[in-house]
Amino acid sequence: MPEFPNIILFAIPFFVLAMLLELYVTTKQNIKTYKAKDAFASISMGIGNVLIGFFSKIVVFAALYFVYDQLGGFLLFR
């Protein structure tokens, strides 16, 4: 299976650039586009998504470690 680059890493600078451009245009033209509660909701959803992914990986790792610890030595030296 071919290895593909992580395109998200390449897209992040474009996302940041687009957000900065939008910030510049909206402040220059005095347009009120964002509310603090909307920004807080978006940021907290992003952080929550990262934390859920992190903790789910910890649970999977702990389960695999438990199985290896209980059966690993038995299966390796059979």
Q: Name the pLDDT band for 60 (thresholds 50, 70, 90).
A: very high
Range of the domain at 28: 7-76
Q: Is the pLDDT of residue 68 over 70?
A: yes
Is 65 among the domain residues? Answer: yes
Is 45 among the domain residues? Answer: yes
Q: How many domains does the chain have?
A: 1
Residues 6+ apart with CB under 8 A from 25: 31
Sequence-distant contacts of 72-76: CB under 8 A, at least 24 apart: none
Structure confidence by residue, pLDDT tens digits, 22-58: 888 888 898 887 777 887 888 899 899 999 999 999 9
Is 43 among the domain residues? Answer: yes
Instruction: Please give the Cα distance from 55 to 62 (Å, whole number).
Output: 10
Is 1 among the domain residues? Answer: no
Is 21 among the domain residues? Answer: yes
